[in-house]
Amino acid sequence: MATSSVAPRLITFLLIAFLSENVAADALTWLMKINSAAAEVSFSGTFVYIHDGEIEAMEVVRRVKDGMMQERLYSLNGAPREIIRGMDKVWCYIPDQNVVVYDYRQISQSGFPKTLPSDFEQLKRNYRFVEGSDGRIADRPVQQINVIPNDAYRYGYSLWADSTTGLLLRSDLINQQDEILEQYLFIDVEIGGDITDEQLVAVSDKDELQLFGNNTPITASADSSDWLLTQMPDGYTLSKHIRRMSPMDAGEVEHLVYTDGLSSVSVFIKEIREGQSEMSGLSRMGAVHAYRKTLNNHRITVMGEVPAETVEYFARGVEYSN
Amino acid sequence: MEQDENDIVLVERVQNGDKQAFNLLVEKYQFRIKHLVSRFVKDSHEQEDIVQESFIKAYRAISRFRGDSAFYTWLYRIAVNTSKNYLVAMSRRPPAQDVIADEMVHSRGAERLVESNSPEQIAQNDQLVEAIKQSISALPEELKQAIQLREFDGLSYEDIAVAMNCPIGTVRSRIFRAREAIEQAIADLVE
Amino acid sequence: MHEEISQLIDQELNPEQRSALLERLINTDTRNNDTARKSWKCYHLIGNVIRDEVPSTGKDLSALVRDKLEKEPTVLAPLSIKKPGSNERQNARQNARKDVWKSVGLFAIAASLVVVAVATLMPMKFDGIAFQLTASSKAFNTSQAIRFSQEFDEMLVKHAEFTASPGMNGLIAYAKLVSAEKLQQ
């Protein structure tokens, strides 16, 4: 009696598991395609960034050549500002404030975090991937991929990738209430082709602007710490641990970055100095949540584009270990 | 509606993470908002819930306020929407006059036009408001005139000085003395 | 003091006096029965009564709202929204411009670009600096909120640098930086 009813259920279960595994595999294939496109495809285009009832339009040119990425980003509304990501430095032109500033690229020397298959394994533990419908963005056929979080400690994404190249043409960040927190959408894009050097040069006249810059990389990775993270939501792992000086007051800041493969959470630990703000608790800026607390005369700030529960969870786990 | 400079300063503080600054805005606008809500919902406890909800909603959305309108106008819209949503949730039809109310927001004092003081409501008028009314009418004539020119007619000290034919310093002191006298008269009613 | 509150409500104070007094009012603990804060509330209520803007019952709800607010996450306006809200602020910025450059220079010497980029890309940064500079010369406030906001911005940029949104890879971090200042004039 018992066995006869379990068996069909088991079969149904296996069938569903097989089918969803297949669906997930397709969506995952798309995700890998998106990822490699970001590292390999040259393009130029215009996208809009929608957040907090604001809409910004940007022009972007990206060239990937001999494994190196160069990029120019230019704001089309408001004050004209541009950012050039060169081989090893980032330049920010702010003509309305009469300055240009530069620094070493910190995101990674090659421009892209290398995404390994193990990262996808990590992703699969934290998210479900569902292939959506096909559509059209910036006059190109696209494929939608929905990234659905497995728990309440991360947001979801809806991604639309160019059907041919995998280049991401739209990305929505979605909370648990299914509300879109922020959105990127290309309205015009030309993929491939030769990107000339001129296209990657700032239109702002450097000679007219005051130059400020940093000539030495300032971040050093930290191998030891007096701080301990005793708890964090499942699925997050430490990806970076750095120490640097804060230019605000020349105090040292410890910065730990945790990621679940898609979402990232930063933990900042900084000694409290005279006259500094003592704000604590939860705060929010657009899609970013932050949680602060004070411990052993240090201020702990946890932030990320994650739900409030996540930053709080992390913050509660920070302890002084000495 | 012109921008209230105090509101601008307070809203900027709130947008920079100063929650306490928002409380000043609540204290300033709560009665006006409740008055507005009372045109949609008659029950006083329900009104109180809606007023509180409206302010919390306004706080959550404060980063979206960009000063394109006066802060009160923005708050007004939130309170109207909160009231309407409440009525929908209660499956009651919003009163037809809310359309008028929407149109009326920009004219000063216009809310009076659509006020519907039922006899019961007037009877309900609580002691505090009554006490304020009484102490206003008990004010010496020149103090009463000064504060009414300011609060009812919205004149600046300079204009009041012209209207009352006295120095600006006198206007300032008359208005303050009027407020001080009223505050003292109602001191027992305020906890 | 109370006469000043009366003037404040009537918008008859100059910008410096206004900021200083609002700062005082914000920082008074209402639970301490502070008379200044009581007057702020009472004077507005008097105006409501004169204009007939009072509900049928005048129950004070501010304490209830304050308690609810305590439980809310602190909201911060995104960098691109923060802007000088009034002419006086803009004038203050302009007057402080020269000194601001000194500050920006110091920043740059001390520091990483990104923070300087924030200091310059983000209008709020200038506001913050202007605030601090005017604070020493005039009765302008240096609120903890502003400093908190600056520090928050700095951390936000640092966080964004190491955050790779899917596929967009850092582009977005910088897009946030380049986000235009709205309502320049």
For residue C154, give the 3-state DSSP assignment: helix
- pLDDT at B186 (0 to 100): 85
Show the 3-state SS of A23-60: HHHHHHHHHHHHHHHHHHCCEEEEEEEEECCEEEEEEE
Residue C80 at interface with chain A, using a CB cutoff of 8 Å: yes
| Chain A positions in Cβ-Cβ contact with residue B63 (cut-off 8 Å) | 52, 285-286
Residue C42 at interface with chain B, using a CB cutoff of 8 Å: yes
- pLDDT at A22 (0 to 100): 52
Residues ≥6 apart with Cβ < 8 Å to A152: A176, A307, A309
Do the Cβ atoms of B155 and B149 come closer than 8 Å?
yes
Closest residue to A285, CB basis, from C108, C156, C170:
C156
Closest residue to A77, CB basis, from C156, C173, C180:
C180
Domains, chain B, in order of start with CATH, read: 5-118 (1.10.1740.10), 127-189 (1.10.10.10)
CB contact under 8 A, B24 and C40: yes
| C 15-44 residues inside an 8 A Cβ radius of A | none
Give the C-alpha separation, A298 to A318, whole Å: 11
- pLDDT at A54 (0 to 100): 74
- pLDDT at A7 (0 to 100): 57
- pLDDT at A60 (0 to 100): 87
Residues ≥6 apart with Cβ < 8 Å to C140: C16, C19, C20, C92, C131, C134
Q: How many beta-carbon pairs under 8 angstroms link B with C? A: 218
| C 78-97 residues inside an 8 A Cβ radius of B | 78, 81-83, 85-86, 89
Specify the residue for token string 């104070």. C13
Q: Which of A29-38, A180-189, B13-22, B179-188 has the lowest mean pLDDT?
A: A29-38
Q: Are strands A298-304 and A288-295 parallel, antiparallel or unpaired?
A: antiparallel
Residue C46 at interface with chain A, using a CB cutoff of 8 Å: no
Cβ-count burial of C28 within 10 angstroms (0-12 exposed, 13-18 middle, 19+ buried)?
Answer: middle
Give the C-alpha separation, A151 to A154, whole Å: 7
> Average pLDDT for residues A149-168, to the nearest whole number?
92
Residue C171 at interface with chain A, using a CB cutoff of 8 Å: yes
Nearest-neighbour CA in chain B from C89: distance (Å): 10
- pTM for the full model? 0.65
Report the 10 Å Cβ neighbour count for A21.
Answer: 12
Give the C-alpha separation, A266 to B18, whole Å: 23
Closest residue to A90, CB basis, from C81, C101, C113:
C113
pLDDT band at B58 (very low <50, low <70, confident <90, very high): very high
Which chain B residue has its CA at the smallest distance from C21's CA?
A: B6
Residue C96 has pLDDT above 60, yes or no: no
Do the Cβ atoms of A191 and A162 come closer than 8 Å?
yes
> Average pLDDT for residues A179-201, to the nearest whole number?
89
Degrees, nearest 5: CA angle C42-C138-C30: 25
Choose the most confident range, by mean pLDDT, from A12-26, A62-76, A198-212, C23-37.
A62-76
| Chain B positions in Cβ-Cβ contact with residue C144 (cut-off 8 Å) | 18
> What digits encode the pLDDT tens for the residues B109-125?
434 333 444 444 444 45
Choose the most confident range, by mean pLDDT, from A85-99, A147-161, A253-267, C86-100.
A147-161
Q: Which of A137-151, A236-250, A257-271, B90-104 has the lowest mean pLDDT?
A: B90-104
CB contact under 8 A, B48 and C59: yes
Specify the residue for token string 């009352």. B164
Residues ≥6 apart with Cβ < 8 Å to A87: A68, A70
> Average pLDDT for residues A269-284, to the nearest whole number?
74
Closest CA to C168 of A127, A38, A105: A38
Which chain B residue has its CA at the smallest distance from C153's CA?
A: B16
CB contact under 8 A, A283 and B64: no
CA separation, residue A266 to residues A304, B65, B134, C125, C159 (Å) = 6, 28, 59, 22, 6
- pLDDT at A1 (0 to 100): 42
Which chain A residue has its CA at the smallest distance from C180's CA?
A: A78
The complex's ipTM works out to 0.83
> What digits encode the pLDDT tens for the residues A293-312?
988 888 899 998 899 999 99
Residue C93 has pLDDT above 70, yes or no: no
Chains that touch B (3 or more CB pairs under 8 A): A, C
- pLDDT at A140 (0 to 100): 96
Interface with chain A: mutation pick from B19, B20, B63, B69, highest number of A CBs within 10 Å: B63
Interface with chain C: mutation pick from A59, A73, A94, highest number of C CBs within 10 Å: A94
Residue C81 at interface with chain A, using a CB cutoff of 8 Å: yes
- pLDDT at A95 (0 to 100): 77
- pLDDT at B48 (0 to 100): 92
- pLDDT at B175 (0 to 100): 94
CB contact under 8 A, A79 and C111: no
Residue C181 has pLDDT above 90, yes or no: no
Give the C-alpha separation, A56 to A185, whole Å: 11
> Average pLDDT for residues A192-205, to the nearest whole number?
86
Domains, chain A, in order of start with CATH, read: 12-213 (2.50.20.10), 220-320 (3.30.200.100)
| Chain B positions in Cβ-Cβ contact with residue A53 (cut-off 8 Å) | 64
Residue C53 has pLDDT above 50, yes or no: yes
| Chain C positions in Cβ-Cβ contact with residue A184 (cut-off 8 Å) | 168, 172, 175
Residue A93 has pLDDT above 60, yes or no: yes
CB contact under 8 A, B17 and A283: yes
Higher-pLDDT residue of C111, A232:
A232
- pLDDT at B121 (0 to 100): 44
